[in-house]
């Protein structure tokens, strides 16, 4: 067994066992571990090995770790500038027109004449109801009209005859060639014949209306699209008995432009009204001057800009909000009714706002905290009052001054009063090319 000086210098100060060549070095002792020695002295070596291990462990001390330096944090300077204030709302997409296609007459559905989900034009056929009963009704109404016309001809002929009797009997009655009673009867017959003519004319009008109604019902068996748009999957199937009470057969939506609907609180609405009054404009004029942007459900920004369409007439008493509608161009029908998104617009410019990146702010129990790094590189946790957000920035209403440094990355490493190693903040890139600390509008 070699001790201390016989061990390699790099192992002499270490505590533990190391295999070096054919020797086992344990702290200050090296034991030969050759194959012959282990075979011949295995029993005698064990006690010595155990004793050497115990001796080496008893002389070991705990290793000393190097002192840790100040933690690295990324800081950004508090700045003051004009900031566009962007507001954002949850929005739903809906067709500008959503035409529910219903049967106007009762009958058996014979055909579906469009492909589910296809784009159709106004007037394109969608369904065909069995037309035969309605063709028979039209034929019957047409026959009744012809009969009414024949009755009118007969009544007019009778009226002409009775009128001639009156004309002939009148001078004869004056000469007493016939009795006054005969003249009176002729006059009454003539009046009755004229009434019959008027009745026959009315019957013709009624028969004509019946024909028109039968023709309309016959036409209703061919169901067409009232608008250009995208069709829904049909609800009714071929062979179904459909009618005015059977519900919608399908829906056609006009989606270019598409309508984006969202609700704003009554407080926001009243604020917009005050702005409009100060500017001498109507609410609709103020909203029409805004450019609207839409973030889709997958997080991407829709490339087209929307424009104000309508403001509802009332505040919903259940939610305390009022509906606003904005229309977006939708070439290619990319956007579909029923989708969700987030709509935003720059509602005002905040002059001389104190701003910091949003990620520098920590929300805790309804309040907001930031870590401020002083000139001595010591961190201090400070309570701040925050305002509106703008892009990746957040307006500070109270608690910070321009020129101060706040921690934007590494706040989890900080303790009150601790010294830190500040480095410039490097904002991560976000979709669209703007950094997370940019002050631009969404």
Q: Is residue 158 part of a domain?
A: yes
β-pairing, 340-357 vs 79-102, is antiparallel
> Residue 69 falls within a domain, yes or no?
no
Mark whether 241 and 108 lie in a shared domain: yes
Residue 430 covered by a domain: no
* pLDDT at position 23: 44
Q: Is 149 part of any domain? A: yes
Regarding whether 334 and 284 lie in a shared domain, the answer is: yes
Asked whether residue 297 falls in the same domain as residue 271, the answer is yes
Question: What does the pLDDT read at residue 384?
Answer: 92
pTM confidence score: 0.62
Q: Are residues 175 and 192 in the same domain?
A: yes
> Tell me, what's the pLDDT at 40?
42
Taking the C-alpha atoms of residue 311 and residue 262, their distance in angstroms, rounded to an integer, is 10
For 396, the domain range is 74-81+351-424
Q: How many domains does the chain have?
A: 5
pLDDT tens, position by position, for the chain (442 residues)? 444 444 444 434 344 444 444 444 444 444 444 444 444 444 344 334 433 433 443 444 455 555 567 888 889 999 998 888 888 899 999 999 999 999 999 999 999 999 999 999 999 999 999 999 999 999 999 999 999 999 888 888 888 888 898 888 788 888 888 888 888 888 888 888 888 888 889 999 999 999 999 999 999 999 999 999 999 999 999 999 999 998 999 999 999 999 999 999 998 888 888 888 888 888 888 888 888 999 999 989 999 999 999 999 899 999 999 999 999 999 888 899 999 999 998 877 888 899 999 889 998 888 899 999 998 989 999 999 998 888 788 899 999 999 999 998 888 888 888 898 888 988 765 544 444 443 333 3
pLDDT at 128: 96
Q: Do 344 and 355 have their domain in common?
A: no
pLDDT value at residue 272: 82
Q: Are 340 and 369 within one domain?
A: no
Q: Same domain, yes or no, for 238 and 264?
A: no
**Residue-level pLDDT at 393:** 86
CA distance 188 to 202: 21
Q: Based on the domain organization, do 120 and 177 belong to the same domain?
A: no
Question: How far is Cα 139 from Cα 147, in angstroms, rounded to an integer?
Answer: 13
């Amino acid at each position: 067994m070699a001790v201390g000086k016989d061990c390699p210098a790099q192992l002499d100060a270490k505590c533990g066992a190391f295999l070096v060549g054919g020797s086992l070095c344990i702290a200050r002792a090296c034991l030969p571990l050759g194959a012959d020695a282990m075979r011949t002295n295995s029993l005698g070596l064990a006690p010595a090995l155990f004793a050497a291990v115990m001796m080496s462990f008893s002389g070991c001390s705990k290793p000393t770790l190097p002192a840790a330096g100040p933690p690295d944090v990324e800081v950004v300077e508090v700045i003051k500038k004009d900031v566009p204030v962007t507001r954002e709302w949850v929005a739903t997409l809906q067709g500008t027109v959503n035409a529910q296609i219903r049967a106007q007459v009762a009958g058996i559905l014979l055909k579906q004449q469009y492909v589910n989900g296809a784009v159709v034009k106004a007037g394109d056929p969608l369904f065909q109801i069995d037309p035969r009963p309605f063709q028979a009704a039209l034929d019957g109404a047409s026959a009744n009209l012809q009969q009414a016309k024949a009755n009118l001809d007969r009544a007019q002929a009778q009226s002409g005859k009775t009128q001639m009797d009156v004309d002939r009997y009148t001078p004869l009655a004056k000469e007493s060639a016939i009795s006054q009673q005969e003249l009176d009867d002729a006059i009454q017959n003539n009046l009755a014949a004229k009434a019959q003519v008027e009745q026959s004319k009315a019957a013709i009008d009624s028969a004509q209306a019946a024909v028109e109604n039968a023709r309309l019902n016959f036409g209703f068996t061919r169901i067409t699209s009232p608008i250009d748009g995208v069709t829904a999957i049909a609800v009714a199937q071929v062979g179904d008995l459909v009618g005015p009470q059977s519900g919608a057969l399908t829906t056609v939506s006009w989606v270019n432009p598409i309508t984006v609907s969202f609700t704003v609180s009554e407080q926001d609405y009243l604020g917009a009204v005050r702005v409009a009054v100060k500017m001498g404009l109507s609410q609709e004029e103020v909203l029409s001057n805004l450019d609207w942007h839409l973030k889709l459900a997958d997080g991407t920004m829709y490339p087209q800009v929307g424009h104000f369409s309508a403001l509802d007439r009332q505040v919903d008493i259940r939610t305390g909000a009022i509906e606003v509608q904005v229309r977006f161009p939708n070439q290619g029908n990319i956007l579909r009714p029923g989708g969700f998104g987030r709509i935003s617009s720059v509602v005002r410019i905040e002059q001389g706002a104190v701003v910091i990146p949003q990620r520098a702010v920590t929300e805790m129990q309804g309040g907001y905290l930031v870590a401020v790094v002083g000139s001595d590189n010591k961190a201090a946790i400070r309570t701040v009052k925050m305002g509106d957000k703008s892009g990746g920035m957040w307006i500070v209403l109270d608690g910070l001054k321009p020129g101060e440094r706040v921690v934007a990355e590494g706040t989890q490493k900080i303790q009150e009063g601790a010294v830190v190693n500040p480095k410039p903040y490097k904002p991560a890139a976000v979709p669209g090319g703007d950094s997370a600390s940019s002050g631009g509008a969404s």
